[in-house]
Structure 1
Amino acid sequence: MRNIQTFLEDPKLLSQLADDEFQSVLLEGVSRTFALTIPQLPEGLYAPIANAYLLCRIVDTIEDEVSLSPEQKKYFCSEFIDIVQSGVNSEPFAVELAPLLSDQTIPAEHALIHVLPRVIEITHSFEPDQIAALASCVKTMAEGMPIFQAQNLHHGLATMADMDRYCYYVAGCVGEMLAKLFCHYSPEIAQHKAQLLTLSVAFGQGLQMTNILKDIWDDAQRGVCWLPQDIFTEAGFDLKNLTPDTNDEHFRLGLARVISIARQHLHDALRYTQLLPAHEVGIRNFCLWALGMALLTLKKIKHNLNFTHSNQVKITRNSVKATIVTTKMIGRSNGLLSLLFDVTSRDLKTPDWHYVQPASKATPLF
């Protein structure tokens, strides 16, 4: 059994690995969830999607780096867009960025920046349509995320439409990229391309909203809030009053309503998955495992609206195993999947309340 930490602590040793092993080690270092789900994909999809996640993680690393000024973040994001599109200048980029990363950036992300040229080399080993899908996603993310990072996020986002846009930039565009890669992989899947592209945005948003809800109090500790004020205004709570010590029934009502919206998006994620051929077991597993874990996380939040730390609503390893086992048993049956979703998510709905975004406030995402 390989020692992941050994490779992450020695970029030269890491670079000696074959491409798939190289990307696998990096994935295990930066995301346990994707390190679990991406290997379920068929051979023709594993490499580009593993690479895509690493590219997105590089953008995240730049945006989250506390030592970088807004101007530096904008500069590095712009440069990285060009590098992903062209495949050139990755070495000087990594040399310039790596020394600027602080100790608050995890070791695996330090390693990722050091071996960035190898990641880009792998990117440009793919077919032109695949490269275009990856580059488009990185461009959308790297241009969109700084818009929100530059805002005062102490008191949340103004509207649910703003939350929609934020989720699109950080996750919805990833969903679009995955749909494009799936369609490139399979002409059978491509028959549903238009519908998949639409639903893929909702899929990404459902997953991102779940993460936002789970991390509310972790974010609050650093003075950041991604919740939509209009939903909480309707519930009778002002997010300006949100602190790690908040204990307010009106806040919990708003929280339950955002959970209900996230549940709607996850229902679209199920519809997305059901459009995939039943015989594409690996792709279905990739989608269903992410969907199942998000749904169980929402349930933990809904059943514990008084939680004060993300660890309190983190699903257990047994829940992850149950998701995997259940998927293997019924993952090919659209009917059973719909039944399971309805039963599991029933208590996530908010009685006598349903969110409809006002048409006058709807802003195109792309």
Structure 2
Amino acid sequence: MNPTSRAFLLGPLLKRVSRSFYLTLRILPPAMRDPIGLAYLLARAADTIADTSLVSPERRLDLLLSLRAQVNGAPDDAALARIADDVAGQQTQQDERVLLESLGAAFAILRDLNAADRDAVRDIVTTLTTGMEFDLRTFPDETSGQIAALERFDELDRYTYLVAGCVGEFWTKMTYAHMPGALKAAPDAMLARGVRFGKALQMTNVLRDCPRDLRIGRCYLPAAMLARRGLAPHDLLAPDASSRAQPVLADLLRTTLSLFQDAIDYTLAIPPGAVRLRLACLWPIMIGLDTLVLLARNRAWLDPAQPSKVRRNDVYRIMAVSLPLVASNAMVRAWAARRVRAIEAEL
């Protein structure tokens, strides 16, 4: 298959670089797959640029802003070549290199989308790259040995919107555009729930990935919350950090559970007959709540050697369990309530 073809980019390459998201994407109704898949590829390319630690943060920021400008304007062959030269060659994963070297083909797909989908993809990639820009401007070089923290919860809340809440918004817009009548609730209500849905998933990622992020100088746990418990960001690297920071984890788990309630309401506002769309929403909720159970039970949650991560086999188990649940609001709520009780029992 031609590595620059639409079929390759939105098929095999997307599958290889998106991992579990590809499972969700494939269950979506066909009309939604191309714009959402393309948005994912462009965002993944931007994320690879932002995360390539062998390139200086200043250079990564320049390349990230260049990519964003091309998403919103015309592709620049010289700028794309600079991305390939500076970043693609630093990738240990071949698929990441191929993605960065295929950006010209991705922009060709973007041009071929209808105007509404093209504008929506541009908007979501712009917002997501703003979140990546925030990271590069806020945190130190990963190799500096320094740690910087967000100051207040409202900064964390804004960050979760920039990197995930906006995805729930985009997803909702795509559903209204490509599945008219599928969502019976008012658009404003569904858009607000979609934002909180995305924030729920990102808060889960923040808590799960905290041990790794701390070791590259990034503390997303707000300094003000830590200070109320007598902690500073560098204290989270100490051997007893997990127990000392347990109250902070408990506070943020409660916040995240509240966000997941909106995610469940979002999913159950989709008619039971729209099974594919329901499953696409239900799977990340189930994986997310199972991750929170692991976090709540993990007394060494800040130890990178003891990650709170749902294993691949468990993902397939969740998919199997979801099938008899998906069409029943009562069964979905009962399943979620059991997970919430398991989490609350540990707080």
What is the TM-score with the length of structure 1 in the denominator?
Answer: 0.85
- Show structure 1 runs of 4+ deviating over 4 A: none
Unmatched 5+ residue regions in structure 1? 1-6, 8-12, 354-366
Equivalent residue runs for 1:203-222 within 5 Å: 203-222=197-216
Per the TM alignment, residue 57 of structure 1 is displaced from its structure 2 partner at its CA by: 0.8
- For residue 149 of structure 2, the aligned residue among 152, 156, 167 is 156
Residue from 266, 274, 283 that aligns with 1:272: 266
Q: Choose the corresponding residue for 1:186, options 171, 175, 179.
A: 179
Q: 2:335 aligns with which of 313, 318, 340?
A: 340
The 2-side partners of 1:104 and 1:218 are apart by: 19
Corresponding residue number in structure 2 for 1:94: 80
Please tell me whether the aligned partners of residues 183 and 270 of structure 2 are also in contact (alpha carbons under 8 angstroms): no
Q: Provide the rounded CA distance (Å) in 2 between the counterparts of 1:75 and 1:225.
A: 24
- Give yes or no for contact 2:182–2:274 (8 Å, CA) kept in 1: no
Matches within 5 A, 1:61-72: 61-72=48-59
Match of 1:258 among 245, 252, 262: 252
- Verify: 1:14 aligned to 2:3, yes or no: yes
* Contact 1:148–1:166 (Cα < 8 Å) also in 2: no
Aligned-partner Cα distance in 2 for 1:298–1:310: 18
Which whole-Å CA distance do the structure 2 matches of 1:241 and 1:127 have between them? 51
1:207 Cα offset (Å): 0.9
| Alignment of 1:312 onto 2:307 | yes
Q: Distance in 2 between matches of 1:267 and 1:83?
A: 38
Question: Take 2:77 and 2:50, find their aligned partners in 1: how far apart are those partners?
Answer: 20
- Choose the corresponding residue for 1:85, options 66, 72, 75: 72
**Per the alignment, in what secondary structure is the counterpart of residue 312 of structure 1?**
coil
Q: Where does structure 2 lack aligned partners over 5 or more consecutive residues?
A: 141-146
Seen in structure 2, the aligned counterparts of structure 1 residues 95 and 179 have a Cα distance that, compared at 3 Å, is: same
Q: Give % identity.
A: 27
Question: SS of the residue aligned with 2:237?
Answer: coil
Partner of 2:291: 297
**Partner SS state of residue 118, structure 2:** helix
1:349 alignment partner AA: E
Calculate the TM-score normalised by the size of structure 2: 0.89
312-321 vs 270-279, which moves further: 312-321
Aligned amino acid, residue 269 of structure 2: L
Q: Which residue of 2 aligns with 1:235?
A: 229
1:113 to 85, 95, 100: 100
Shift of 1:232: 2.6
Amino acid aligned to 1:269: A
For 1:129 and 1:296, locate their aligned partners in 2 and report how far apart those are by CA, in whole Å. 36
Alignment of 1:138 onto 2:131 = no
1:244-281 superposed Cα distances (whole Å, 9 cap, x missing partner): 63435331221122122112212211111111222221
User: Relative to 1, partners in 2 of residues 1:219 and 1:105: Cα closer, same or farther, differing over 3 Å?
Assistant: farther
Q: Aligned partners of 2:7 and 2:261: how far apart in 1?
A: 33
Contact 2:14 2:37 in 1 (8 A): yes
